[in-house]
Amino acid sequence: MIVEIGHYALVLTFALTLIQSVVPVYGAIKEDERLMAIASPVSMAMFLLVLLSFIALTYAYLASDFSVQNVWENSHSAKPLIYKITGVWGNHEGSLLLWVLILVFFGALVGFFGANLPAPLRAATLGVQGWVTAGFVLFMLATSNPFNRIPNAPMEGNDLNPLLQDIGLAIHPPLLYIGYVGFSITFSFAVAALILGRIDAAWARWVRPWTLLAWCFLTLGISMGSYWAYYELGWGGWWFWDPVENASFMPWLAGTAMLHSAIVMEKRDALKVWTVLLAIFTFSLSLLGTFLVRSGVLTSVHAFAVDPARGVFILVLLCLFIGGSLSLYAWRAPLLKQGGLFAPMSREGALVFNNLFLTAATVAVLVGTLYPLALDAVTGEKISVGPPFFNLTFGPLMIPLLMAVPYGPILAWKRGDLLAATQRLYAAFGLAILFTLVTFWMWGMDRVLAPLGVGLAVWVMAGSIAEIVTRVKVAEIGFGRGFARLKGLPGSAWGTATAHFGIGVTVLGIVTSTAFQDEKVLTMAPGDTVDVSGYALTFDGLAPSRGANYVEDVGHFTVRKGGVVIAELEPSKRLYTARQFPTTEAGIHTLVLSQIYVSLGEPRDNGSIDVRAYYKPLITLIWIGTLFMALGAVFSMADRRLRVGAPKPAARRDRTDGAAPAPAE
């Protein structure tokens, strides 16, 4: 019964999306207050209905109701509670329901907090969001219904893919989806602006917090997925340039470009047409990602053609949304007036530079992902595009971009002075050179690129600190007053500095862990010891063990440094019994920022086993850097100037004007 209520709620949502798609948009064009007024309540009603659906499906999973096909295919009564919950989105139908839930959640947020938006913009935005929702709810109801029942309910389910029975992967999809579905709101804002034919700096100010929110979650989601692959897949890699990874990385690149161009639009009223185009592209890439992952086209172009219902449906949606929005753009964008002139050497110029390289990088990833599919579909010729291709095309684009990062926030608006900016970055430049030389000295000439990479990372990190230091003018006004000014800096300045710092941190982690890792592949008998970058790793033996729904062989390892035990590692090989599916769990010990990583291979005779052991210097920085990036986004969102419903700048100045806070009366 509860399952049917969930199903019914989903059908009802579809009915509401049809109303939402038409009435408020028509109202916005005709400036009819009454028609526009329905948008907000309907957006909230849709959210509640989809939430009800989602709860119903979750209930079916918790109750292990195997008469529901989706539950039977993906759950098992012996599965731990947490994975019964996360199993809801660990499959095609459930993950789409989560996708739609987040979609309507963002709509409801705009409905709820959008009181300060102009009524036509809000109504049109929610209307466009309604189009997207309608498409995806219809897709679910027609081809991917999670509420389908099966007659003669089986006694036991098929269990969730064991790789998904992991906390990292359990929270990865929601983060990722909040990210890429979050970009739907910027898309809806952009299309609404095109429909209304009006766009200004205020538009950018409304859109930027949404972009930041989506970007923040997408960053965390990608990072989480990467860490999961690192500890779960057993060979210590953390990024594979796989189409599914690229699917989430492309919206991230485009979204990053959009964040930067929206700043120019907000501050200087320039780059409007471009920002709108980026908003369309970013969400289009999210849709493309959904298509790539959900249609099965990646497994094989031919598999897609054999079972076309789902794939073709998403492809049609994709063409409608991307084609429709781009046509609208071509038609209406010339109406948008350009403003805000600037010299090439200025902060605007630096942000354009950022956009240029990020866009080219997005193209590199996009073509690398789609070209093999296209070639296969057109000529039947099969080629592979893997990491070596991306390293060659994407990598070089990142170098000038990273070199320019410290300049961006330091150059002045409109007309900047490159020489003056460089002077402010002397210290950062000196540090970068110093670290490059030290790395050269430590590692010698056999790895020429690595020290330069370290230098580049230090340059980005030090450069982002330099920005804060020069903004508070510590050198001129002394440390005490400088510190007071530090607190007065706007959140967006902190956001920029923190996120840029994070980029440097991630780059440092990538360079050091790739260039200086130590890898040992060998067969170890109990009692054997191997040296990994100065750490003595001893294999103590293998012992069988049993979990809730798996059996495993656990290897016991002891790590010693100078004879002192510093860690014990227990990598294992698991066999999930329901599906007879083997997985590996790496044994990882974190030493400050570096890690020792041990993974098991095939057992041999007399208790020995194949072992792969790594020392990965500073590898955790890769993910720590992404935390800084996400934190930067949070700081920027907390900026009063961007906060929804924050007082106008004039009112704010009355209270906080002056260098020191006014004494209380």
Which residues in this chain contact another protein in the complex, by CB under 8 A? Answer: 161, 163-164, 172, 225-226, 228-229, 232-235, 237, 240-245, 248, 293, 298-299, 341, 344, 352, 356-357, 359-361, 363-364, 366-368, 371, 375, 379, 381-389, 392-394, 397, 521-523, 573, 581-584, 599-602, 610, 612
Cα angle at 614 between 609 and 620, to 5 degrees? 135
How many residues are listed for the chain in this entry? Answer: 665
Nearest of 125, 390, 495 to residue 279 by alpha carbon: 125
Distance from chain centroid for Cα 70 = 27
The token pair at 201 is 């700096």
Least Å distance, CB 521 to another protein, is 5
Least Å distance, CB 261 to another protein, is 13
Distance from chain centroid for Cα 267 = 26
Measure the CA–CA gap between 457 and 270, rounded to whole angstroms. Answer: 31
584 vs 594, which CB is nearer to another protein?
A: 584
65 vs 585, which CB is nearer to another protein?
A: 585
394 vs 635, which CB is nearer to another protein?
A: 394
Least Å distance, CB 85 to another protein, is 19
The token pair at 280 is 């369309």
Least Å distance, CB 243 to another protein, is 6
Nearest of 111, 125, 206 to residue 637 by alpha carbon: 206
- Residue 134 CB-half CA count within 13 A: 16
209 vs 221, which CB is nearer to another protein?
A: 221
Measure the CA–CA gap between 62 and 514, rounded to whole angstroms. Answer: 43
202 vs 367, which CB is nearer to another protein?
A: 367
Least Å distance, CB 434 to another protein, is 31
Least Å distance, CB 70 to another protein, is 18
Measure the CA–CA gap between 501 and 626, rounded to whole angstroms. Answer: 10
- Which single residue is written with the structure tokens 């989560």? 98
Nearest of 282, 277, 276, 280 to residue 255 by alpha carbon: 282
Least Å distance, CB 601 to another protein, is 3
137 vs 253, which CB is nearer to another protein?
A: 253
Least Å distance, CB 240 to another protein, is 7
Cα distances (Å, whole numbers) of residue 81 to 146, 199, 412, 506: 20, 49, 55, 35
35 vs 333, which CB is nearer to another protein?
A: 333
352 vs 618, which CB is nearer to another protein?
A: 352
130 vs 368, which CB is nearer to another protein?
A: 368
30 vs 337, which CB is nearer to another protein?
A: 337
- 423 contact partners, CB below 8 Å, separation of at least 6: none
70 vs 583, which CB is nearer to another protein?
A: 583
Measure the CA–CA gap between 414 and 363, rounded to whole angstroms. Answer: 29
Least Å distance, CB 148 to another protein, is 23
**Are 114 and 37 a contacting pair, CB within 8 Å?**
no
**Are 436 and 449 a contacting pair, CB within 8 Å?**
no
**Are 180 and 282 a contacting pair, CB within 8 Å?**
no
Least Å distance, CB 186 to another protein, is 21
SS3 590: strand
Question: 517 phi and psi, to 5 degrees?
Answer: -75, 155
Least Å distance, CB 392 to another protein, is 7
Least Å distance, CB 276 to another protein, is 16
SS3 610: strand
**Are 301 and 371 a contacting pair, CB within 8 Å?**
no
Least Å distance, CB 91 to another protein, is 11
375 vs 644, which CB is nearer to another protein?
A: 375
Least Å distance, CB 383 to another protein, is 5
DSSP letters, 9-29, are HHHHHHHHHHHHHHHHHHHHH
381 vs 476, which CB is nearer to another protein?
A: 381
Question: 596 phi and psi, to 5 degrees?
Answer: -100, 130
389 vs 429, which CB is nearer to another protein?
A: 389
8 vs 443, which CB is nearer to another protein?
A: 443
Least Å distance, CB 180 to another protein, is 13
Sequence letter at residue 552: E
The token pair at 216 is 């923040």
Least Å distance, CB 534 to another protein, is 19
Cα angle at 461 between 431 and 389, to 5 degrees? 105
Cα distances (Å, whole numbers) of residue 219 to 203, 267, 284, 588: 24, 25, 18, 24
Among left, alpha and beta (phi > 0; psi -120 to 50; other), residue 159 is left
Cα distances (Å, whole numbers) of residue 168 to 285, 294, 477, 576, 639: 24, 21, 47, 18, 31
67 vs 514, which CB is nearer to another protein?
A: 514
DSSP lists the bridge partners of residue 556 as: 541
Question: 576 phi and psi, to 5 degrees?
Answer: -80, 120
- 143 contact partners, CB below 8 Å, separation of at least 6: 309, 310, 313
**Are 567 and 559 a contacting pair, CB within 8 Å?**
yes
523 vs 533, which CB is nearer to another protein?
A: 523
Least Å distance, CB 384 to another protein, is 5
